[in-house]
Amino acid sequence: MIRSLALLFVSAFLAAGAQPIPVVLDTDIGDDIDDALALAAALQSPELKVLAVTTVLQQGPRRADLTYRILEMYGRTDVPVGVGAEQTLLGKPGNDFVKQTDQLPADYHMPGPRRNGVQLMVDTIMKSPEKVTVLAYGPTTNVALALRAEPRIKDKIERVVLMNGVFFHAGLEYNTYRDPEASQIVYNSGLPVVAVGLDVTMKCMLTLDQLDQMEKSPYENVRFLRKLIASWQNGNAQQRPILHDPLAILVTFRPALVEMEAGAVQVETKGEPGVSYGLTSFRASPNGVVHVCRDVKAGEAVDLFVSRVIAAPRKP
């Protein structure tokens, strides 16, 4: 059953032809390093057409500054950036620290007025001549708010690809438990959802040799990513990035990297914080519109990621 589902999913991608997939990226960039790496992977993948980037969680303006700086590095300042929700749906406090902005030039700010991220998401999707894939690799607050603010976007969304959840063993995943109510809304929206969870992402880790390769790169964009990694390492040079969010990027256009299973996902929104609140449970069903990733070709995924991000900026 898993294999047949994967083949059907691949066939759907192939049927779409060779046109780039229009995507909106939604990110809590600046905390863990994988968000910045995911943005770079998306920009470096000709299979994707990045229409907009929105930030989520506290310090949204600084997250937007970091996003714009990466877009500058890749010659993609044509991509609009929006500052999304800084609080979860229930307004739960957080202590998010956007440390990687320490690699921005002194007094650096993205130009122009700050755009509302939820409105940017809605407008981008509604104005697109093609259906849009929403690629959300932070808490799904913005996506839930957009679905509530403008229900018509459901007809304009091809699917939602998430880095979210853990499905085949016990555990909590940050993007889910940071805003379980938002995750529940997205999983139960009726939209096709692909969920890349900790079951597979934990198997995808960069090597120290690959980090060294980035540090010695002749390209400024690659060296900047390496500086962000160093900031995230915070003095621990042996700490290696796990490709949580980049795997969601890659699966969007290369679904054969993973084994998927169809079904439904429920998120615990009444449990004890730190124990059961935010747990994801998966129920397999051949008619389910949610596909969760069960396994990954980890070596192939890491190699694909590295081949993209160590290259010179791609011309769109």
Lowest-pLDDT range, 90-104, 158-172, 239-253, 286-300? 90-104
The 10s digit of each residue's pLDDT in 29-38 is 998 999 999 9
Q: Which of 10, 181, 29, 226 is nearest to 91 (CA)?
A: 181
Lowest-pLDDT range, 17-21, 133-137, 160-164, 283-287? 17-21
- Report the share of the chain in percent with pLDDT over 70: 94
- Report the share of the chain in percent with pLDDT over 90: 88
pLDDT of residue 17: 54
Above 90 in pLDDT, residue 93? no
Above 90 in pLDDT, residue 288? yes
Q: Are strands 157-163 and 132-136 parallel, antiparallel or unpaired?
A: parallel
The 10s digit of each residue's pLDDT in 126-175 is 999 999 999 999 999 999 999 999 999 999 999 999 999 999 998 999 99
Distance between CA atoms of residues 197 and 125, nearest Å: 25
pLDDT of residue 126: 98
Above 80 in pLDDT, residue 5? no
Above 50 in pLDDT, residue 262? yes
Q: Which of 231, 203, 215, 289 is nearest to 100 (CA)?
A: 231
pLDDT of residue 96: 72
What proportions of the chain, in percent to the nearest 5, are helix, strand and coil? 40, 20, 40
Q: Is 155 helix (H, G, I), strand (E, B) or coil?
A: helix
Homologous superfamily (CATH) of 19-253+297-307 is: Ribonucleoside hydrolase-like (3.90.245.10)
Paired with 163 in beta bridges are: 196
Contact predicate 73/65, CB 8 Å: no
Q: Is 267 helix (H, G, I), strand (E, B) or coil?
A: strand
Instruction: Break the chain into its structural domains and give their ranges.
Output: 19-253+297-307
The 10s digit of each residue's pLDDT in 220-260 is 999 999 999 999 999 999 999 999 999 999 999 999 999 99
Above 80 in pLDDT, residue 120? yes
The 10s digit of each residue's pLDDT in 188-217 is 999 999 999 999 999 999 999 999 999 999
